[in-house]
Amino acid sequence: MCIRDRTQEARLAPQKEQKRGCVDPEVTTELACATMSKPVVLVTGANGEIGRSLLQRLHTEGRYRAVTVDLTPLPERYRPLCVETYAGNIMDKYLLDQVAAHHEIEVVFHLAALLSTRGERDPELAHQVNVEGTLHLLRVAQNQSGRLGRPVRFIFPSSIAVYGLPDLAEKARAGKVLEDAYNEPITMYGCNKLYCEHLGRYFTQHFRQLGALASAARLDFRSLRFPGLISAETVPTGGTSDFGPEMLHAAAKGEKYSCFVREDTKIPFMAMPDAVNALMGMLEADRAKLTKSIYNVGSFSLSAKDIEDRVRKHFPNAEVGYAPDAVRNKICDSWPEDVDDTRARKDWGWKPNWDVERAFEEYLIPTIKKRYSDR
Ligand code: AKB
């Protein structure tokens, strides 16, 4: 079932942008034309952690018009950032076709996914959402590329979950891993992400290679392998890297936190503003310079104890304990300590703005303090 957040009549015709307080009809027309000529970006999973930050960034930059799809209606405060918002399931082909019929989509940020812990609780559902859902979106983007006669850019957040290190000794030996190493994920989510990376590459390079449509425009798929993300605004749900953000938010709220991994569990992390920088950098990268469609993006690497120490520095009364969950810890143990992102740095100039010091001192701690003191 799909609920469109605007009027029922709007279902039948593309929604025009509202003109805001202009009286001169010529100026109004010019403004409307300028606005309408901005490319439409479809954001799935817009109501999630990355989605909300990305919408703010797209709006601030002002070069794109955002159309969103999420299972849950976008909160009121995010709606002015979008030209249209749809509440519905990415498994609903009818909804996606309707969205595509009403908007000339030039870019897709396909953020909707079921994360690694949630995926282990319901692997079949994870496969449906993460793989079948992605296939639906790829089909929509491919059809749209054919209609426009040029490639729709399809930006896909993949994950360190595609890696599967066999044991802790090998993890320590491996250090920063390259994209092609250890591609043996141990979670359904990791398998889904790895397969979808291949699907995207296939759609870009080989889709309909036999037959009359072989020379038609294909989509342009670009994927980033994200570490665990830490946002000062939101706490993630359903992931296994969640121990980082959960510990920080619990301390800021003055709540006890029982960490589900051992103190020495170490994985790469990234501050949310850098995740959005990476998505925008990937979107705007010159296709001719991209040697691959899959890119690691790194920032900093921390153990649970490192995070606790940083948290304690600012919240000395934080109550942090450790009650490792065997399976969730095994999942984190199978992820690399860090990623080698040389390829992204060389091909499209990736560089994180927020090293660990800046991320905590200038973004996470001040923003989170303000957030909880405002309540
Ligand atoms: C998860 O924990 O599942 C995600 C991820 C690392 O992709 N945050």
What's the pLDDT tens digit per position in 215-241?
778 999 999 999 999 999 999 999 999
**How far apart are the C-alpha atoms of 262 and 200, rounded to whole Å?**
36
- CB-side exposure of 247: number of CA atoms within 13 Å? 27
Quote the mean pLDDT of the chain.
Answer: 91
Q: Confidence band (pLDDT; 50, 70, 90) for 5?
A: low
| 26-43 mean pLDDT | 69
C-alpha 236 to ligand 1 mean position (Å): 9
Q: Confidence band (pLDDT; 50, 70, 90) for 6?
A: very low
Pocket test for ligand 1, best of 115, 130, 231 (most atoms within 8 A of CB): 115
Output the pTM of the full model: 0.91
**How far apart are the C-alpha atoms of 206 and 279, rounded to whole Å?**
24
Pocket residues: Cβ below 6 A from ligand 1: 115-116, 159-161, 189, 228, 239-241
Which spans in the chain are helix H? 25-36, 49-61, 93-102, 116-121, 123-127, 133-148, 168-174, 188-205, 243-253, 272-284, 304-314, 326-334, 342-348, 356-358, 365-373
Which of 180, 193, 207, 353 is closest to 272 using CA atoms?
353
Which of 265, 374, 375, 359 is closest to 311 using CA atoms?
359
C-alpha 325 to ligand 1 mean position (Å): 16
Contacts of 202 (CB under 8 A, 6+ apart): none
**How far apart are the C-alpha atoms of 177 and 19, rounded to whole Å?**
50
320-322 vs 257-259, strand pairing mode? parallel
C-alpha 326 to ligand 1 mean position (Å): 17
Among protein residues, the one with the nearest Cα to ligand 1's atom 6 is 228
**How far apart are the C-alpha atoms of 276 and 175, rounded to whole Å?**
25
**Is it the case that residue 112 has pLDDT exceeding 70?**
yes
What's the pLDDT score for residue 373? 86
Q: Confidence band (pLDDT; 50, 70, 90) for 173?
A: very high
C-alpha 51 to ligand 1 mean position (Å): 15
Pocket test for ligand 1, best of 49, 186, 242, 296 (most atoms within 8 A of CB): 242
Q: pLDDT of 327-363, one tens digit each?
A: 999 999 999 999 999 999 999 999 999 999 999 999 9
Question: Which residue type is seen at 145?
Answer: S
Q: What are the φ and ψ backbone dihedral angles of 108, each rounded to 5 degrees?
A: -120, 125
Rg (CA), the chain: 21
CB atoms within 10 A of CB 98: 17
What's the pLDDT score for residue 211? 79
Q: pLDDT of 265-279, one tens digit each?
A: 999 999 999 999 999
Check: CB of residue 300 under 8 Å from CB of residue 355.
yes
Positive or negative torsion for Cα 87, 93, 95, 100:
positive
- CB-side exposure of 125: number of CA atoms within 13 Å? 11
Specify the DSSP class assigned to residue 179.
T
**Is it the case that residue 197 has pLDDT exceeding 80?**
yes
Q: What are the φ and ψ backbone dihedral angles of 321, each rounded to 5 degrees?
A: -125, 170
The dihedral formed by the CA atoms of 51, 159, 172 and 339, expressed in degrees to the nearest 10: -80
153-159 vs 105-110, strand pairing mode? parallel
Among protein residues, the one with the nearest Cα to ligand 1's atom 1 is 239
